[in-house]
């Protein structure tokens, strides 16, 4: 299971609270929950990394995972379009399309 339209925003020169945003879209609440579980499982098992914080639930259509210098935003399709984080951070922020 994989998120769609994955972007990496390099916010190092625009923000002091993190270096990168990873933004991805899930096709449904159920898929969003499965992606969150997989991210958590892999980072805990392979890297021994746990999030410093988590905001939101899969059923809300937006979940934020705070890993310190990297913040992961996972959205449902409608929520991603509505909040448009990449549009908010577009000015002078390098964007790498992962997928």
Determine the pLDDT at residue 47: 86
The dihedrals phi and psi of 10, each to the nearest 5 degrees, come to -90, 100
Q: Does the residue 69 lie in any domain?
A: yes
Q: Are 54 and 2 in contact (CB under 8 A)?
A: no
Q: pTM above 0.85? A: yes
Q: Are 58 and 27 in contact (CB under 8 A)?
A: no
Confidence tier at 99 by pLDDT (50, 70, 90):
low
Q: Does the residue 1 lie in any domain?
A: no
Encode pLDDT of 17-29 as tens digits.
999 999 999 999 9
Q: Does the residue 99 lie in any domain?
A: no
Whole domain around residue 30: which residue ranges?
Answer: 22-92
Q: Does the residue 15 lie in any domain?
A: no
Domain count, the chain: 1
CATH number at residue 46: 3.30.460.10
The dihedrals phi and psi of 59, each to the nearest 5 degrees, come to -70, -15
Q: Are 27 and 35 in contact (CB under 8 A)?
A: no
- Name the average pLDDT for the chain: 89
Q: Does the residue 26 lie in any domain?
A: yes
Q: Does the residue 6 lie in any domain?
A: no
In the chain, what percentage of residues exceed pLDDT 90?
Answer: 64
Q: Does the residue 27 lie in any domain?
A: yes
Helix count and strand count (H, E) for the chain: 3, 6
Q: Does the residue 10 lie in any domain?
A: no
């Amino acid at each position: 299971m994989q998120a769609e339209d994955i972007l990496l925003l390099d916010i190092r020169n625009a923000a002091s609270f993190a270096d990168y945003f990873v933004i991805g879209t899930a096709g449904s609440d159920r898929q969003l929950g499965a992606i969150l579980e997989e991210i958590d499982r892999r980072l805990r098992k392979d890297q021994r990394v746990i999030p410093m914080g988590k905001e939101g639930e899969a059923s809300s259509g937006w979940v934020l995972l705070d890993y310190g210098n990297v913040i992961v935003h996972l959205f449902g399709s409608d929520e991603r379009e509505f909040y448009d984080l990449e549009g908010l951070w577009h000015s002078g922020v390098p964007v790498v399309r992962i997928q």
